[in-house]
Structure 1
Amino acid sequence: MAETLIIYYSSTGYNQKVANSIAKKLDADLFEVKPVKPYDKDMWAAWDIAQAERKSGQLPELQTNVPDMSQYQRIIFGGPAWGYTISNPLQAFLKQADFAGNPVYPWVTFYDHDEQYLTDLKQQLNNGQVKDLLELTMGVLNDDQSLNSAIDHWLEKIK
């Protein structure tokens, strides 16, 4: 078993790419958060559904169980920002998860803004310690050299 667990949600493949890259660099275990009903690949269509879920207070049901995080020394947690904050599937995961006192190193991908992501993560994280955030814009995500450089720099910082 690895020392590090990477927990991520990816609706378009960007965050899966980030998670896989970090996992290879750290020899970490991967855990993908999957909603029962996948969101539309189109960002705006998915956002319409996400807004309706938030207004109704009904976060998506997940098809994945929460892993036992007490087996790990650190958690890396990532996914997209939706409406300046944590995506709905990751919020649903956070409601169920106990981070077992582990340090949690988050990353976020975003198209335009992510202002509330870190603040909301600190509020929603159960029994974990939020550490340095890696912010990845679409420009960085679409340039493999920039992405690898950003990940490497962040990993050096959090070691």
Structure 2
Amino acid sequence: MADTLIIYYSSTGYNKKVAQLVADKIDADVFQVEPVKPYSKDMWAAWDVAKKERDEDSLPELKTGYPEMSQYQRIIFGGPAWGYTLANPLQTFLKNADFAGKPVYPWVTFYDHDEKYLADLKEQLHNGQVHDLLELTMGILGNDQTLNKTLDDWLTQIQ
């Protein structure tokens, strides 16, 4: 078992790619948050559904459970920003997850804005110590060399 757990949600594959790259670089375990009903891969269609869910206070049910986080030394947590904040499946996950007092190193992928992501993560995360946010724009995600360098630099800082 690794000493680091990566928890992520990915609707389009970008965050899955980031999670796998990080796991390969540091030999971490990986846990994917998955909603029962998948969202559209079209970001605008997914956003319409997500906004309606938030407006109605009906976040999605998850088909994945919750990993035992107490056995890890640190948690790396990532996913997309939807409407300036955490994607709805991550919000559902955070409602019931216990981070067991662990340091949490977050990343976010976003197309345009992520202004409330870190503040909302800090507010919603229970029993964990949230560190600085790694922001991954589409420009970084679209260039493998830049993405790898960005991740290497970040991992050097958090290890």
Scaled by the length of structure 2, the TM-score of the pair is: 0.99
User: 2:142: which partner in 1?
Assistant: 142
User: 1:109: which partner in 2?
Assistant: 109
Q: 1:45, 1:32 → 2: CA distance?
A: 22
What is the Cα deviation at residue 132 of structure 1? 2.0
Structure 1 portions without partners, runs of 5+: none
SS at match of 1:16: helix
SS at match of 1:41: coil
Q: 1:47, 1:89 → 2: CA distance?
A: 12
Q: 2:80, 2:6 → 1: CA distance?
A: 15
The runs of 4+ residues in structure 1 deviating greater than 4 Å are none
Q: 1:14, 1:58 → 2: CA distance?
A: 25
User: 1:94: which partner in 2?
Assistant: 94
Q: 2:70, 2:105 → 1: CA distance?
A: 16
Q: 2:112, 2:88 → 1: CA distance?
A: 17
Q: 1:133, 1:44 → 2: CA distance?
A: 24
Q: 1:117, 1:149 → 2: CA distance?
A: 23
The number of residue pairs the alignment matches comes to 159
User: 2:126: which partner in 1?
Assistant: 126
What is the Cα deviation at residue 13 of structure 1? 0.2
Q: 2:56, 2:42 → 1: CA distance?
A: 22
Scaled by the length of structure 1, the TM-score of the pair is: 0.99
Contact 1:74 1:104 in 2 (8 A): yes
SS at match of 2:31: strand
